[in-house]
A and B are shown apart, each in its own frame.
Chain A
């Protein structure tokens, strides 16, 4: 039977979690910001190697500026997590280390990827100094708008959760 793994996308509101999923699953993008409330769930099969694939069950959680208010019922049974922040809005990453510690704690240290989205809105030099200044590592830099690094992000996640229970 095809393996299925649940991954959750968490982060502040307006950082582009829904847009990343939409780009990955449907290869679409819309500039209209539509707030997510509750949770949306989508499924996508990801080819890891020539003869290896996996179903990612992607839970798109509503964003919050206080991650402590995340509903525990949404996180149950997660195999992996993607923390998304918006590189153009410092409030979404200024407490990154605390946010990540909280996510790790709530999710029992499942594989976690940190993603700076909306890189199309800032220039490269500013972005580099921003990452350095906030000591952000283990990251993906994506643009849901332009599709930059979106597929590789989810493929990486798929590989990470494939052999992980």
Chain B
């Protein structure tokens, strides 16, 4: 027992310093266990902790305890708890050295605070990244949308120019311009697609389509393209695949053509093979594997990881022309369709891209139009074409007006009236019986779709039923659906070609 007391006293003696000071703060006694404090010196001169000693003295009644105070003097540093006890002639100060205890505490606090700060900064960085991506995609979307009007003018004007008398060298130059326009148009569509995928604005259609016709189209197009490049093209289509399928034909076609174009681009010799295989069929559902393989230069393992990422990261991997959006679009669209694009590739041997897609197989089959009916409608159309059809063109942009007017008049089949102002359309249709209205959606004073709604509500049958072709620079599916719902029969998105316009007109003029 006596030994324990001895050890305890030794331990306490080693870690405690007692200091007695008078009411003025003069040091009366100090055991100097931890620090050297001179007798008769002012305690506040020893360490700023004791500064304003008289204030401190009056701030408590009998005792005061202060935790975790860093005290240092010369080369000596301790982390201490300090107790003050008021005595008759002054104050007893007890300094308790707890450095090792507080050092452990410090280590814990360090790791806790660091991890809290790090996780907050990660969240902030992610938020900033997401915001930047959103802004970038929105900007691209708006920008490419704005480009559509001038693109439309350029394409139409060059097409009109091509129909005039030109010297062979002028024709050659114009062909370059047309090629450039076409390239720009494709690029614009690609950029718009990728930004619509990224912002989640792209919605898939779910319609019945003829699967084999789609394969025929691919076979025809790519056999020719491959031949032109000195390559062999092979399409292996599983005979068990049904005639029709339900899904988004346009987007499936976009994925397959992007992959095939990519194969063409990177294959200098050998062949390209397109394969479609039925993996499984159950009820009215099926799973189909689509595969595009080539004997091209192949893709290194390192590049395989980033090849499907957004174009900003792909730039430096591209050795060929273009910005390399194709595969990023493929990746986005295939994901949207609920699948995943995969790739196996070996340098100098070739690459194989593939994905497994769930499609529905509709029970009702697409019926082919009877030949008799086709002949009859053609005969009707020819007869109707004997007289000039009346078209009302509502468009405020003078350049587009001129281009459309020239296309329509050049065909020699139509009489065309033009209105700039949406406010005068109703008056005009009451005055004249039109066979067709071609109307811009964005007009001064009103909108084309509002007018379409009013026309469809007219009590006069002839006016109520007049076909309306809407034209717009808007490419957003939701908006286009809205215009159709408002009563427009079809929508042509700018830029469109002469032939697209003619096809649309022929569809609605009887």
Partner among B48, B66, B68, B79 whose Cβ is within 8 Å of the Cβ of A57: B48
- Is the pair A89, B120 in contact by a Cβ cutoff of 8 Å? yes
Write out the residue numbers on chain A whose beta carbons fall within 8 Å of the beta carbon of B124.
88-90
Partner among A14, A39, A43, A73 whose Cβ is within 8 Å of the Cβ of B51: A43
Contact of A37 with B51 at beta-carbon distance under 8 Å, contacts A77-B56, A89-B117, A90-B124 already known: no
Kindly identify, within residues 16 to 63 of chain A, every residue whose CB is under 8 Å from any CB belonging to chain B: 33-35, 37-43, 55, 57, 62-63
Q: In angstroms, how far is the closest chain B Cβ from the Cβ of A95?
A: 14
Write out the residue numbers on chain B whose beta carbons fall within 8 Å of the beta carbon of A102.
none
B 103-125 to A, binary, CB cutoff 8 A, 1 in contact else 0: 00110011001101100110010
- Is the pair B48, A43 in contact by a Cβ cutoff of 8 Å? yes
A-B contact pairs, 30 of them (CB 8 A): A4-B51, A13-B113, A13-B116, A13-B117, A14-B113, A14-B116, A33-B113, A33-B117, A35-B106, A35-B110, A35-B113, A35-B114, A37-B68, A37-B79, A37-B109, A39-B68, A39-B70, A43-B48, A43-B51, A57-B52, A71-B66, A71-B67, A73-B64, A73-B65, A74-B66, A76-B59, A88-B121, A88-B124, A89-B121, A89-B124
Write out the residue numbers on chain B whose beta carbons fall within 8 Å of the beta carbon of A55.
51
- Assess whether B102 is interfacial by the CB under 8 Å rule: yes
- Assess whether A6 is interfacial by the CB under 8 Å rule: yes
Q: In angstroms, how far is the closest chain A Cβ from the Cβ of B20?
A: 21
Q: A38-B68, A71-B66, A73-B65 are in contact. List 14 more A-B contacts (CB 8 A).
A: A13-B117, A14-B117, A34-B110, A35-B106, A35-B114, A37-B79, A37-B105, A37-B106, A37-B109, A39-B68, A41-B70, A57-B48, A88-B121, A89-B117
Contact of A57 with B106 at beta-carbon distance under 8 Å, contacts A35-B113, A73-B64, A89-B120 already known: no
- Is the pair B48, A42 in contact by a Cβ cutoff of 8 Å? yes
- Assess whether A97 is interfacial by the CB under 8 Å rule: no
Q: In angstroms, how far is the closest chain A Cβ from the Cβ of B337?
A: 39
Chain A residues touching B, range: 20 to 34
Measured CB to CB, the nearest residue on chain B to A13 is: B113
A-B contact count (CB 8 A): 74
Kindly identify, within residues 59 to 89 of chain B, every residue whose CB is under 8 Å from any CB belonging to chain A: 59-60, 64-70, 79
In the assembly, what is the distance between CA of A76 and CA of B59, in Å?
A: 7
- Is the pair B51, A38 in contact by a Cβ cutoff of 8 Å? no
Contact of A41 with B121 at beta-carbon distance under 8 Å, contacts A74-B66, A77-B56 already known: no
- Assess whether B378 is interfacial by the CB under 8 Å rule: no
Measured CB to CB, the nearest residue on chain B to A77 is: B55
- Assess whether A91 is interfacial by the CB under 8 Å rule: yes
Contact of A39 with B109 at beta-carbon distance under 8 Å, contacts A57-B48, A57-B52, A77-B56 already known: no
Measured CB to CB, the nearest residue on chain B to A121 is: B121
In the assembly, what is the distance between CA of A114 and CA of B274, in Å?
A: 68
Measured CB to CB, the nearest residue on chain B to A60 is: B70
Contact of A40 with B113 at beta-carbon distance under 8 Å, contacts A6-B51, A89-B121 already known: no
Write out the residue numbers on chain B whose beta carbons fall within 8 Å of the beta carbon of A13.
113, 116-117
Chain B residues touching A, range: 20 to 34
Measured CB to CB, the nearest residue on chain A to B44 is: A4
- Assess whether B424 is interfacial by the CB under 8 Å rule: no
Q: In angstroms, how far is the closest chain B Cβ from the Cβ of A70?
A: 12
A 64-91 to B, binary, CB cutoff 8 A, 1 in contact else 0: 0100000101101100000000001111
Write out the residue numbers on chain A whose beta carbons fall within 8 Å of the beta carbon of B65.
73
- Assess whether B49 is interfacial by the CB under 8 Å rule: yes
- Assess whether B23 is interfacial by the CB under 8 Å rule: no
- Is the pair B117, A35 in contact by a Cβ cutoff of 8 Å? no
Interface centre among A38, A43, A88, A90 (most CB of B within 10 A): A38
In the assembly, what is the distance between CA of A90 and CA of B125, in Å?
A: 12
In the assembly, what is the distance between CA of A6 and CA of B56, in Å?
A: 11
Write out the residue numbers on chain A whose beta carbons fall within 8 Å of the beta carbon of B110.
34-35
In the assembly, what is the distance between CA of A46 and CA of B343, in Å?
A: 70
Q: In angstroms, how far is the closest chain B Cβ from the Cβ of A155?
A: 19
Write out the residue numbers on chain B whose beta carbons fall within 8 Å of the beta carbon of A14.
113, 116-117
In the assembly, what is the distance between CA of A65 and CA of B117, in Å?
A: 11
Measured CB to CB, the nearest residue on chain B to A6 is: B52
Q: In angstroms, how far is the closest chain A Cβ from the Cβ of B72?
A: 9
